[in-house]
Structure formats: C-alpha cells, structure tokens
Structure 1
C-alpha cells in the first residue's frame, strides 16, 4: 500500500479511537476527517451520464397501492442524480405515473416501463421489509434495498447492489413522544436515498459521518 495512503488510514483510525471515548466530538471528527481524507469516493457506476434515466422505487406493497415510501425514494434519488450526474436527463415523476396509470402496470417489469417513457436507463430500487419503529415507543427505520440499473436498448442488467439491512439511526432511535411518524419517515428515507444515490456519483466521506445528527432537527 502506498505510504501516503497508509498514513491517511492510520490518522483516520487514531481520530476515531480518540473520538469514540469522548462525548460531544461529532463535529471534531467531521472536521478532522476532512484533513485526513484523500480524493472524493468515486462512483461505482458512471453509466448514467448523458443518458435519459427513469428512477423507479417499489416496496412490498407499491405494486398494488400508492405507496408514499416508494414515491419519496424515487423523488429523492431523482433530485440527487439531477444535481450530481453530468448531463443526465431524469424522467419526470409524472411521466412515469402517467404511463403506469395508462398501462395498468401490475407487475415489476422495469424494462417495459423504461421503454414506455423513452428512457435509456432505468434505476430500479426494490425495498423490502420496510419499518419505521423498533417497538411501540421508538422510531428506528429498517429496510433491505436492491438497486439495479437496466439498459433499455439491450434489456440487460448492467449494475446491481444489495443492502441486506439498512438501519437508521445505527444505534438508538427517536422516541415517539419527541417527533411524528411523517417527520421521522422523511428523515429516514432521505438518508436511505442519499446512500443509494452514492453508487452513481462521487461523494465526500464526511457526509456519512454525522448522519445521526439530523435527528436533532426533527
């Protein structure tokens, strides 16, 4: 391993070791990680640039009903990609909804939808086991997520990643007396969407360090 890379990793480990033994250190960790890091973390898949892309999220129940979680994740990822991916043309949400309504879409066939809205690629996000509570009094989101890119011209799968159990916050949670389910859902799905969108654009590692702090603003 290159000497500079080893030094950066050693510095990062020292920072985290010190930080986790102290309280109120989240801001310090975030700032120090900036000085220790190298370049941005690169995208795993770069094939969305200069393409017309439809983002479609589904949950266990969204094939049969208008599911708010599926809509929110589709919308969030679309917004992130439109900003972060060069010259991307994201298919509007209403175009996808109109096609589904007019064609009685009742099965998961992402390539057919992509053809229907004249997309070059489809980013398909399949969410299973979504829940927002850990017991009766604590909000803590959990879900499994599979993200797949389909090339519409060939009908082939070009990229796939699976997260078996995404949890937010990683530890603890938010008491139901401190916030509402819609507010917690918004934060949880926002965080999830950001994680899934990172497959397709470079990102700063610092962005993933202080995620739990968002709960303070619910």
Structure 2
C-alpha cells in the first residue's frame, strides 16, 4: 500500500520535470532561430532589415544616464544668471520644455506645474536656490535642477549662435541628497563654424529654437533612452 502511494507521488514529479525540460528546449530553440535569422539576413546583404528590427525594438537606443525619475513627483527648476533677480524668459522656457519632454518620455512621472514653482519663488525670493527646500515647498519628491551659466544667443552683431554651460542635478527633496549630477559644457548650436544670420530670423525665434528645443532635448535625454544619430541632424534644424 505504501509502495503504491509512493509510486503515485513520483509520477507527477517526473511529469513536471519533463514539462520543464520541454519549456527550456522550446525557449532555446526560439533563441537559436532568432540568432539564425539575424545571421542569415546579415550574410545575405539585408543589413537594413536588421537596423529596422533594432530600431523597432529600441535596441539601438542609448540608455538614460539616470532612470530614477520614474514613479516620482518631480519639479524642474532652472537657474540662469538673470533668474536670480526675477522671472527670466530663458529659464521659464527651458523648464517648460524639459518638463514637457519628461512627461512624454518618462514612465509614471508626475510633474509639478511651472506656475507652482514660480509662485513659490515669488513668495520666498528668486535668489533662493536651495533646491531641496523648493522641492519640499511644492511637494515634489525630487527636483531636476538646471543651472545655466554663460548663456548667450548671439556671436557678434550679425549672427545668432547659442552657447551655454549646464550643470544638471537631481536632488531628493526630503533629504537634500544629490542623486545624480552631470555637466553639459560648452554646448553650442549651430555646431558648425558661423551661425544663423540675424537677417534670417529674430531673437525670439532663435531663443525658442536653441533654448526651448535643442538645449531642452540635450538636457532631458539624460533621463530617457535616445537615438544618438539625432546629433548628426542637429545643424539642419532651422529657426522658423
């Protein structure tokens, strides 16, 4: 009787082992098939198909330098040399543009509105640059702090050419701990010699292009995967 019971208990265990082995073999077969397809495509001169496959799956993207903004309440605070004395158009534009990209590209991020940050700084002083205190004041988990130095839009009286040095950091509001820090030094647009003639566009349009588009993308991509090939097309973007 006991022997019979023992045999009955062994059979399901053997069945599970066989099933597990089949699952592993099927997974290995699928993996081998995928590798074989990629190898076959490459050796038959169909490399564009591989490139398209990698692009669709996101395998060709550069990963984010910092992924900790996901599932967090985040305030974007931009400090320029002019914003220490009051609201500055470039600082406001950059914060808004970076926040818009983060909302689109970072999963489950909750962005604190620009006007909430501006109102807090109105009350407590624009020279207040304790980022953790600002974060606590607007009830944000983290602050993306953008410190802009040497921001300029013109190179000589007849050319628009954007230049800036950026110190970027992420601060935890509750503790004040710096969770991430990096520098974007000597960032210039256009990157080629010369610039955009002042006869071709206005300062307001060029500011929107450089600060609200080019510079904002370069900052925001620290926090989401991006296509490095976009840099090659940078100078082809024009101010309209």
Q: With structure 1 as the length reference, what TM-score do the two structures score?
A: 0.81
Deviations 1:130-155 (A, max 9, x none): 11111110100111000000011221
Deviations 1:73-110 (A, max 9, x none): 00000000001000000000111111112223422111
Q: How big is the alpha-carbon RMSD for the aligned residues of Structure 1 and Structure 2?
A: 2.0
User: Paired residue for 2:67?
Assistant: 46
User: Paired residue for 1:154?
Assistant: 175
Q: Which runs of 4+ in 1 moved over 3 A?
A: 34-38
Q: For this pair of structures, how many residues does the alignment match?
A: 187
Output the CA distance in 1 between the equivalents of 2:185 and 2:237: 23
Which of the pair is proportionally richer in helix? 2
Aligned counterpart for 2:83 among listed residues 62, 80, 83: 62
Partner secondary structure for residue 141 of structure 1: strand
Aligned counterpart for 1:101 among listed residues 122, 131, 135: 122
CA contact (8 A) 2:85 2:126 kept: no
Distance apart, 1:204 and its partner CA: 1.5
Q: With structure 2 as the length reference, what TM-score do the two structures score?
A: 0.74
- For 1:5-154, list aligned pairs within 5 A: 38-154=59-175
Where relative contact order (Cα < 8 A, 6+ residues apart) is larger, the structure is 1
What are the ranges of 5 or more consecutive residues in structure 1 without an aligned counterpart?
A: 1-30
Q: In terms of Rg, which structure is larger?
A: 2
Distance apart, 1:50 and its partner CA: 0.2
Distance apart, 1:61 and its partner CA: 1.5
- For 1:201-216, list aligned pairs within 5 A: 201-215=224-238
What are the ranges of 5 or more consecutive residues in structure 2 without an aligned counterpart?
A: 1-47
User: Paired residue for 1:186?
Assistant: 208
